Structure 1
Amino acid sequence: MTLRTRLLVLVSALVVLAGVGTASVLHASARADRRDHAVPGGPRIATGQVALSARGRMIFRNMAWGPHRDELTSVPASDPSGPRTASKVKCLRFYAAGGTGVCLQSLHGPVQDTYRAVILDSRLRVTARYDVPGIPSRARVSPSGRYAAWTAFVGGDSYAGTNFSTRAAVVDTRTGRLTPSLEAFRVVKDGRTYHAADANFWGVTFAADDRTFYATLATHGSTYLVRGDLRARTLTTVHPNVECPSLSPDGTRVAYKKRVKGLPKDAPWHLYVLNLRTLRETPLAEPRSVDDQAVWRDDHTLVYALPGDYGADLYTVPSDGTGKARRISTAAVSPAYVNRSTG
């Protein structure tokens, strides 16, 4: 066999092997697209339709490793650990109400990541985009879907210490009018207008009237629950030592994390519920420190995230201080119970 013949045989063999390899990859990819994805020991996940108008669904950011990590994923609210339907929409933080969603996303750049908030309609189509000036932290939508809010770290990356700065924004999803920071609102503390260069705001939660909201104010080493008025553009202090408030569906109570003396500096919080009429505090039956803005599943039950093997798991606990905490879903964070009125 001549050298030329040998070269032709070698080239032909390489072409055949390349074709077989390409066909194998395409075949495997097609099979992967058709079947449910499940990491061993993790939840079963399949691509499908996810809608914010579906009844009886919980939607959250999927944390399980695999092709659907970080995607918005839906499960029956009655079976939160069941098979998941993935949407292909990726979010770092998410919330939805009234057929409207807010999704905080990371955009990978050549030098550093940037962040944005996108407003989603009931079919998860983007209706608006807004730049976010830091690392996304919290997200909420008003019960009607009219307003959305988000919080970002613009200095530091943890609520545990004191060396951080946040920016909380509110947008009218109908008009597109954006308030980039709650620092534009007038603060009323102890009956007087209050000014402080170190004021930080985070953790917005909305009432059903599309006017009232609650948030956290931090200033001079202390935190406060503040009641906001979107029309008057005011923030009035209500109660001390409140972080990441979450208003109950009936509008009478706020769930929040409270700093408790004696707990470690990197895990200083305990979950409480505050009665807004009496200002009576009720500690909840979750013994671990919770760094999350809890979600009300209904008027009697709270859902929140704690660290897990995939990054975070979801837990639930009664809102009246009884019972005990239990895990309801692994590899999940930022839950929202859609097509029902909660803020």
Structure 2
Amino acid sequence: MNSRTPMARLSRRNRLLVLVAAVLLLSGLATAATLHAAGRAAEKDRAQAGGPPVRSGTVTLDAPGRSVFRNMAWGPHRDEITSVSTADLGGPRTASGIRCLRFHTAAGTGICLQAVHGRLRDTYRAAVLDSHLRELRHYDLAGVPTRARVSPDGRSVAWTVFVSGDSYAGTAFSTRTSVLDTRTWTLDRDLEAYRFFLDDRLHRASDLNVWGVTFADANRFYATVATGGKTYLVGGDREARTLHALHTNVECPSLSPDGTRIAYKKRVQGASSDAPWRLYVLDLRTLRESATAERRNVDDQAVWRDGHTLVYSLPGDYGSDLWTVPADGSGKPALALKAALAPAFTGRS
């Protein structure tokens, strides 16, 4: 005989209904909270991916009045070589589809240092591009890309990689710098093989490092040599295979369009060992150096936008922004391009 009364059975059913309703309510609240959090995250991602609009299109390296650079904004075009009007740097960006970690161009020749993603590890290569960004040749790299330059006539290209270490700030790094003739495809794989002259005497050292080439023409260039705990600006000659020290405490030189001045990063006394550099300009005729108005740490090889203005990268929300400052020490720094790295200016010799 069933001892439960109809009222008891009803109470039990009500309790079950209340329990089910509570579970459904809590489940609904959890789902709503998850969707709200996802919405907030998506909104944050959209905000972080904001900035100048970027669209796919055709990018060439011989169009006048264009700035080309590595686009750093998050989204489908991150790391692509991108073009924008030099007259309207904040305008719409045209992305090429070609990804580069470092890039430079002159006279319709481009050099693109790329990552090649593998199953076990990434490798790197240097791709020489024509004016339509078509690959002409490529070369395997011995390390992580850090600097790239093309001579004003497009007939020589250079690149530097970290063979060990990943920063110029300390001393525990090793670089390898190569120079390539784009007419004969002759490759000088390591500029450390050149004869280095210090105080006009041949100097041999096991700790020699060379990086940061900037070209005067297809044969003559400037670069940084480090040895004995010091850095030197050197003048290089590809045909003679020589490097001659010209001035101390110069890193990552950049030659002005008229060939008379070098912009570079200089280690300054009293600065942090993690942020030791300031942006300077050296007059090659007098060897007189002067500081620019940029007082922040600049770990970059600056580019001359014209004969008066330097362009360089500083850390930004997307990894890197481009800034400008007058080369003569006047004025003040100005933000030129957000989410950008490795600039060059096309359509000029």
Q: Percent identity?
A: 64
Task: Spell out the pairing of 1:1-343 with structure 2 (5 A cutoff).
Answer: 41-208=50-217, 210-341=218-349
- 8 Å Cα contact 1:38-1:45 kept in structure 2: no
Cα distance in 1 for partners of 2:320, 2:206 equals: 34
**SS at 1:160 equivalent:** coil
CA separation of 1:108 and 1:40: change in aligned 2, threshold 3 A? closer
Higher gyration radius (CA): 2
Letter of the 2:114 counterpart:
Q
Give distance in 2, aligned partners of 1:244 and 1:80: 25
Runs of at least 5 residues in structure 2 that lack an aligned partner in the other structure: 1-45
After TM superposition, give the deviation of residue 44 of structure 1 in Å.
Answer: 0.1
Match of 1:8 in 2: none
Cα-to-partner distance string for 1:135-186 (whole Å, 9 max, x where unaligned): 0000000000000000000010000001100000000011111111101111
Q: Equivalent residue of 2:305, what SS?
A: strand
Code of the residue aligned with 1:139 in structure 2: it is A
1:316·1:325 contact (CA, 8 Å) conserved in 2? yes
1:108-140 deviation per Cα after TM superposition (whole angstroms, max 9, x unaligned): 111111000000000000000001100000000
CA distance in 2, matches of 1:58, 1:292: 18
Partner secondary structure for residue 206 of structure 2: coil
Which amino acid counterpart does residue 327 of structure 1 have in structure 2? Answer: L
> Which contiguous aligned blocks of 4+ residues in structure 1 show a shift greater than 6 angstroms?
none
State how many pairs are aligned.
304
CA contact (8 A) 1:39 1:66 kept: no
Deviations 1:280-334 (A, max 9, x none): 0010000100000000001100000000000000000000000000101100000
1:176 and 1:126 map into 2 onto residues whose CA distance is: 14
AA aligned to 2:273 is: K
Alignment-derived partner of residue 10 in structure 1: none
Task: Give yes or no for contact 1:185–1:234 (8 Å, CA) kept in 2.
Answer: yes
Q: CA deviation at 1:338?
A: 1.0
Distance change in 2, residues 1:219/1:40 (3 Å): closer
* Counterpart residue type for residue 270 of structure 1: R
Tell me if the contact between 2:49 and 2:73 (Cα under 8 Å) persists in the aligned partners: no
SS in 2 for 1:298: coil
Gaps of 5+ in 1: 1-36
CA distance in 2, matches of 1:289, 1:295: 16
2:144·2:161 contact (CA, 8 Å) conserved in 1?
yes
Query: In 2, are the aligned partners of 1:38 and 1:44 still within 8 Å (CA)?
Result: no
Residue deviations 1:9-34 (CA, integer Å, cap 9, x gap) = xxxxxxxxxxxxxxxxxxxxxxxxxx
**TM-score (ref. length: structure 2):** 0.86
Q: Which moved more, 1:77-86 or 1:142-151?
A: 77-86
Counterpart position of 1:27:
none
**Aligned counterpart, 1:25:** none
The verdict on how the C-alpha distance between 1:40 and 1:178 changes in structure 2, with shifts beyond 3 A counting, is: closer
How much does 1:42 deviate? 1.5
Structure 2 letter corresponding to 1:211: N
Letter in 1 for 2:78: R
Give the drift of 1:247. 0.2
Paired residue type of 2:251: E
